[in-house]
């Protein structure tokens, strides 16, 4: 639970099913508990919905589908121990002796791909948008696709590289626009629309499919 200067109570059910409560400092624990109890039915419904959206845990077995740039590719376990993980545009190949470390190996591969995909796209959009960033980092954030710091540092989750290229571009434009506007004002959305007109559709896609961008 978080206390702040806000005037109202905010209840947020996260993707993992946990509840985040943001409340005004003036409210006591009993008052907040009453509000939560009144919203009990909504909270339970939201928790069930979020858990239903949770993707199945990967087992790193033959035939499992893994996403890359919006497309699904099958996993093939191989006996060649010289290569931990390989991707040839048609399938992923993982040394069977490393299947137990599959999540770590795939994560490392996705992080590297995120750097190769996102960095040049960010440079491209920064140039045409006329903005400058200090540094770009690839993170392991689960619930935030991107963020922009006050000193010009921009972060992107490696999970973005599982999404289609146009969705990646939408997040890049969104965060670069924050270098000019640190809020979500009309001017901010106007700048986003200028360089990514379909941003509303991209946001909707992420809301519907973001839970799939996991391993």
Give the pLDDT confidence of 175-196 residue by residue, as tens digits.
999 999 988 889 999 999 999 9
What Å distances lie between residue 81 and 39, 41, 64, 86, 146, CA to CA?
54, 52, 20, 11, 36
What does DSSP say about strands 85-87 and 153-157: parallel, antiparallel, or unpaired?
unpaired
- Inter-residue contact 168 to 179 (CB < 8 Å): no
Identify whether the C-beta of residue 136 lies closer than 8 Å to the C-beta of residue 156. yes
Closest by CA to 55, choosing from 40, 65, 63, 46, is 65
Percent of the chain scoring above 70 in pLDDT: 90
| Range(s) of the chain covered by CATH 3.30.2010.10 | 108-212
SS3 (DSSP) at 166: helix
Q: Tokens at residue 134, please?
A: 């200090």
Return the CA Rg of the chain. Answer: 20
What pTM was computed for the model?
0.74
Give CA 204 to chain center in angstroms: 13
- CATH of region 108-212: 3.30.2010.10
Average of per-residue pLDDT values in the chain:
86
Reading the chain (215 residues) residue by residue, the pLDDT tens digits are: 444 555 677 777 776 667 777 777 766 778 878 888 887 888 777 776 666 566 667 888 899 999 999 999 999 998 876 778 999 999 999 988 888 889 999 999 999 999 999 999 999 999 999 999 999 999 988 878 988 887 888 999 999 999 999 999 999 999 999 999 988 889 999 999 999 999 999 998 998 888 889 88
Geometric angle at alpha carbon 200, from 145 and 140, rounded to 5°: 5
């Amino acid at each position: 639970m978080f206390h702040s200067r806000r005037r109202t109570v905010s209840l947020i059910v996260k993707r993992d099913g946990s509840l985040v409560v943001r409340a005004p400092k003036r409210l006591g624990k009993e008052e907040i508990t009453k509000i939560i109890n009144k919203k009990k039915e909504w909270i339970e419904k939201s928790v069930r919905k979020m858990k239903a959206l949770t993707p199945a845990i990967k087992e790193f077995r033959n035939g499992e589908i893994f996403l890359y740039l919006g497309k699904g590719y099958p996993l093939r376990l191989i006996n060649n121990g010289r290569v931990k993980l390989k991707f040839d545009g048609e399938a992923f190949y993982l040394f069977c002796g490393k299947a137990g470390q599959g999540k770590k190996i795939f994560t490392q591969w996705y992080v590297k791909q995120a750097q190769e995909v996102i960095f040049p796209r960010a440079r491209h959009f920064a140039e045409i948008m006329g903005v400058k960033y200090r540094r770009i980092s690839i993170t392991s954030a689960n619930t935030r696709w991107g963020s922009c710091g006050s000193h010009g540092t921009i972060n992107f989750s490696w999970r973005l590289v599982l999404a289609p290229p146009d969705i990646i571009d939408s997040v890049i434009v969104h965060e670069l626009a924050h270098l000019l506007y640190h809020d979500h004002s009309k001017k901010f959305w106007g700048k986003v629309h200028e360089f990514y007109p379909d941003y509303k559709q991209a946001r909707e896609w992420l809301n519907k499919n973001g839970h799939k961008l996991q391993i």
